[in-house]
Structure 1
């Protein structure tokens, strides 16, 4: 009996892109296929591969997501200008054939606006869970996207632009310098629901590394290696942080000891808060204003430095005058008393006398009257 060949699947990175393009979480996709969220996470990471009926169901679901994405998103042809065009191409391999789902030429501004519209609303809610402050969450996300626009050629070519912006926003939100700002010295009003307040209080009691690891793994849905890479830690250290964070949450909130329930509550807590992000045009304009400000500040500092150096060179002495050493006794003979160092007035007088004629004034000859 011959075995039927395995159904071709897209690469792991494209599987994740198709799921995110359809606005599906790993838990939602797992429910459609009939597996656990950890299994979907392993499929998208490339650690394991589905087999049998699960492989067939997974391939059919990815094919439908690709067709739905291609049908919903138009493909305008826009000339490349400014910083260059970004070519987006998603290919799905089905039954040995490669089908192009989308191939758009977007200007840098359009590509940035698409990334902002896709990531900013969710990222603001995630950053709020990380800090417990609404205004700080919006400010951190806007700052991250402003940096992304300043480095857009680099971010556009990154393997995961959304991950780049997320890591930058988290770093900005967890900066210890915010505690010195007057507007962030007092706590903000907590959520209205008692269960939401309890969960947020538990999250804020966690150390920042554990809080960030828990949010990335159980909130965002990253796997352990990706969480370790984004937090700049080793995989074993990340696993220990995750276990400690889960143990703390389960100790204070026993109902959230299940990771699936914790994931659901984190999503609900972020969705209950009305957190709105600024428009992408406003963020791009703010980034350009910030870039112009720092450019002008750098030019002004350079000019001031050049002027200070020039003034120092013009006014500094041209030679070194050693100080008069103190006298010493020789064979019991006391040292001769010598005058001390000249003052500025005396030095000017000495220079004036040296500049005059050395032979003195002319002699007066008497004349007979």
Structure 2
């Protein structure tokens, strides 16, 4: 059924309420614009609900647990009688929930109209949701990305998780095989290891953390192996088979060598796919590979249409999306602004942690 929502025309419609979208919406509203923000899931996007924030909450808790287990090294005689993982999950959920409420309050305080709906855009720049349609003078596409899938046999078995579903675990496995030794994979490798899980990592490239400096990669590999994390580089996954008694066998290949790894759970962390299914307007947009092509002002090839965040294929980091969102809004309001990606800091929450920029 058709309904009237808010205004018939907005100065700005933002699609996606992740760190790029909600920051842009709030900034535009502060400048006096009438803004609509669409989100089909939860405010905060992947970073807040299934990415940066929950994983860093886990990383901190795992660090504390690890320190307590090594308290004797610091002169303390501490005995840990029990470990309640459900309390860990509860704390993570509490942190996430509090931050989501904070974003909701900020949006409300700044007069942003929030629609909990999936929005598409037609070729006339109308924003469609359900049977409803609104017009927008400007549009920011901030639809983010989703976990990439590995096209192998057994990938959909019950023991296999991605970066979304691993955060839904209510108990810890005894063993975990991580497919993908990038940033997300290695962060979880250390987190789970500190929680006492037996961890194996399979990476198809010659080095883990392949996008970083080789010396850094080697240092983290050494630290991981010292903690008992098994690393298999230059290895591809052939298949995943469920065991009758539970758990899975992950068959990997390195050159001519075949190895089978048993694990209670398998975590697939091989990167992200861009969410570019935004409706008929996608047929008019220019792409660079699978990413929406933007200029230095976050403009697409269509007048009045901007894109920010993962969907642009730039640095896929939450604070980059936020910065892009601010740049896009500045340019919508006639304030020429750009973003220097060489000055963007980043971090990897392994043990030790890594910090870099550029």
TM (norm. structure 2) is 0.23
Structure with greater strand share of residues? 2
Higher helix share: 1
Bigger relative CO (Cα 8 Å, ≥ 6 apart): 2
